[in-house]
Structure 1
C-alpha cells in the first residue's frame, strides 16, 4: 500500500496541478499578449458569463449536500459574493459591467444567445458534478481557485496597456476576486486536505477531481477559441490540452 502523503506533501501535489491551469491555454496566452481582437475578447466575455452564473448554482448544490453547519456558514458567502446582497454589487453584476466596458450591452451579455454549445456542456457538467457527488468532492473541485489570483492580476496589470480601449472601470470583477479567491482557498484547501488524507487512494482521488475541474476550464477556453471566428486556423493547431 502506498504511503499517505503528509499534509504539506499533499498540498504541494494539489498546487502542482496548476501547471494545467487555463492560463496556459493558447487563447489566454493570446489574451495576455494583447493579440485578441475586440470581437474575440467580447466573445470570451459573453461565453464566460455562462460560467459566472453557474458558480452560485454550484455553490448552492454544495450547501444542499453538506450537513456540516460550520462549513455551510463559511461557504454561503460565496453565493452572495456572486449574486450580491442588498446594495453590494456581486460578481455577476460586475461581469455585466465588464461586458459593457468591452463594448457590449447588458442584453448582449445576459441573453446567453451567444454562448457556444461547448461552454454550455462544460459548465452544466460541472454543476451536475456538484449536485451528484459528495460535498467534499465538490469542494475539492473548487480548488482551481488556488491558481486564480495570478490570472486576475495578469488582467489587471496588462489590459490597460494592451487593450487601452477597455474602460478600466470594467476591471472591478478581477480586483474583487483577488481577495475573495484567496479567502475561499483557505477554506476549500482545509476541507480537502482534512477529508482526503484518510488514505493515499483518497488523496489521489482528490488530484483526479481537481484535474476534472481543470479540464472543464480548458474545454471552456477551447470552445471560446473555436467560436471566435476571427482566430486564424494556424492558431488552433494545439489539438488538445497537454497531459501533466
Structure 2
C-alpha cells in the first residue's frame, strides 16, 4: 500500500500519509501489516458502524458529509489525552508508532476549522442547518456504536 500525494501533505510528512501512520500504529501495537490490511481483527459491530458512515458520506449531500465531520472539533483535546494515556499506560508500544496521534493534534484543528467554515457558509436555511445538525448527530451515533462494539467484545 502506498500513500497518495494528498495523504502525504495531510499528514505533514514528505514521504508518509495518514494511512501509513495508522499502519505503523498497528505495527507498534504488535499487529502485522497483513493483519491490519485484511481486517481480521475488526469486530462486526465496528465494521457495521464504519460501513454505515461511509454509506452516509457517499449518499448524502456533500455539505452534510462535511457537517458530520464536525466531531473533529473535539478531537484535539481527546487526542492529547489519548496520546498521554498511551505513553503512560502502554509503555510496550513503540513510541514511533504513536505518530498517528501526534499528527492528529495538528490535523484535527485545521480540518475542523475548515469544516466549520464550509457548514456556516453553505447551511443558511433552517432546513439546511437541521440537516447539518442531524449529520453531526449521526456521526456521534456511529462513534458510540464503535465504542459499544469494542466494549462488548472485550469487557
> Shorter-chain TM-score category?
0.7 to 0.9
Q: In the alignment, which of 81, 97, 110 is matched to residue 10 of structure 2?
A: 81
**Which ranges of structure 2 fall in alignment gaps of 5 or more residues?**
none
Distance 1:191 1:160 in 2: 35
1:177 and 2:104 equivalent? yes
Aligned residue for 1:220?
Answer: 146
| Superposition misfits of 4+ residues, deviation over 4 angstroms | 76-80
Distance 2:102 2:48 in 1: 28
Distance 1:79 1:208 in 2: 32
**Which ranges of structure 1 fall in alignment gaps of 5 or more residues?**
1-55, 57-75, 232-244
Q: In the alignment, which of 127, 130, 136 is matched to residue 57 of structure 2?
A: 130
Aligned residue for 1:94?
Answer: 21
Aligned residue for 2:121?
Answer: 194
Aligned residue for 2:34?
Answer: 107
1:117 and 2:19 equivalent? no
Contact 2:63-2:118 at 8 Å conserved across structures: yes
Structure showing greater radius of gyration is 1
**Change over 3 Å in CA distance of 1:99–1:181 after alignment to 2:** same
SS class of match (2:125): coil
Question: 1:219 deviation in Å?
Answer: 0.5
Distance 1:204 1:222 in 2: 26
1:211 and 2:137 equivalent? yes
SS class of match (1:205): helix
Distance 2:65 2:140 in 1: 13
How many residue pairs align between the two structures? 152
**Change over 3 Å in CA distance of 1:78–1:191 after alignment to 2:** farther
Contact 2:8-2:15 at 8 Å conserved across structures: no
Question: 1:91 deviation in Å?
Answer: 1.4
Compute the TM-score of the two structures, normalised by the length of structure 2: 0.87
